[in-house]
């Protein structure tokens, strides 16, 4: 019998976990997954970082996250109000969460404050298409998604959904440049963007 592909959980968010993982500094020992949802990113982070915290405001969805990895520190809370100490984490990561929060500049500034010197803030997010160039990414993303969907199907998460996103790609990029000097910005297909910011060592 020919080899078959292993069963894979796939959706647009899981597809871009590797963007986060590729940004991890070799020296990283602590990580925070903001808006962890079902906990898949936190579990992936824990494969290479010994101390990982997954934070989400939704207690019900966090229950499913606990089954992904019993050694992750799962916390119910709002990242803007939870009493983390500044510079607590070598990695602060987030996938598909920032569009749930009203003030993107405030959020990015706060997340940057949680990053330890020499650490990284890595975000994959959603935004709203408003420019002609966005339409090209949307079309490419649709075709790409259909290809992966035929191969793997789409794994449905149980986290709350906000659609359409409140911020445009242009607004997110401006906020990132303002809050995170030197940030690396990438427009991605499948209705996503990525930003990676490394905090200078003092």
* Sequence ranges of the domains in the chain: 12-128+159-198
Alpha-carbon dihedral sign for residues 188, 191, 192, 193: positive
Domain 12-128+159-198 has CATH 3.40.50.150: yes
pLDDT at position 115, please? Answer: 98
Average pLDDT over every residue of 152-160: 74
pLDDT tens-digit profile of 59-114?
A: 988 988 998 999 999 999 999 999 999 999 999 999 999 998 889 999 999 999 99
- Is pLDDT of 165 > 90? no
- pLDDT attached to residue 158: 64
pLDDT value, residue 100: 87
> 6 vs 161, which has greater pLDDT?
161
The predicted pLDDT at position 106 comes to 94
What is the pTM for the complete model shown?
Answer: 0.91
pLDDT in the model for residue 151: 83
pLDDT tier at 159, thresholds 50, 70, 90: confident
Give the span between the Cα atoms of 17 and 6, in whole angstroms.
18
pLDDT tens for each residue of 36-60: 998 999 999 999 999 999 999 999 8
Distances (CA, A) of 11 to 40, 90, 125, 137, 145: 11, 27, 14, 17, 8
Element (H, E) at 22: helix 17-22
């Amino acid at each position: 019998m020919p080899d078959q592909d292993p069963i894979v959980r796939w959706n647009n968010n899981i597809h871009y976990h590797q963007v986060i993982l590729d940004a991890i500094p070799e020296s990283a020992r602590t990580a925070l997954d903001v808006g962890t949802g079902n906990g898949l990113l936190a579990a992936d982070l824990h494969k290479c970082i010994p101390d990982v915290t997954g934070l989400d405001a939704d207690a019900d969805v966090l229950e499913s996250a606990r089954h992904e990895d019993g050694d992750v520190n799962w916390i119910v809370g709002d990242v803007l109000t939870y009493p983390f100490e500044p510079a607590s984490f070598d990695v602060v990561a987030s996938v598909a969460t920032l569009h749930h929060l009203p003030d993107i500049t405030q959020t990015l500034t706060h997340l940057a404050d949680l990053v330890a010197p020499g650490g990284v803030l890595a975000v994959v997010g959603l935004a709203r298409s408003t420019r002609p160039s966005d339409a090209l990414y949307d079309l490419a993303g649709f075709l790409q998604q259909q290809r992966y969907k035929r191969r793997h199907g789409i794994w449905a998460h149980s986290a709350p959904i906000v659609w359409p996103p409140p911020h445009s790609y242009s607004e997110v990029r401006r906020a990132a440049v303002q809050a995170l000097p030197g940030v690396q910005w990438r427009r991605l297909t499948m209705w996503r963007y990525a930003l990676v910011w490394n905090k200078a060592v003092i």
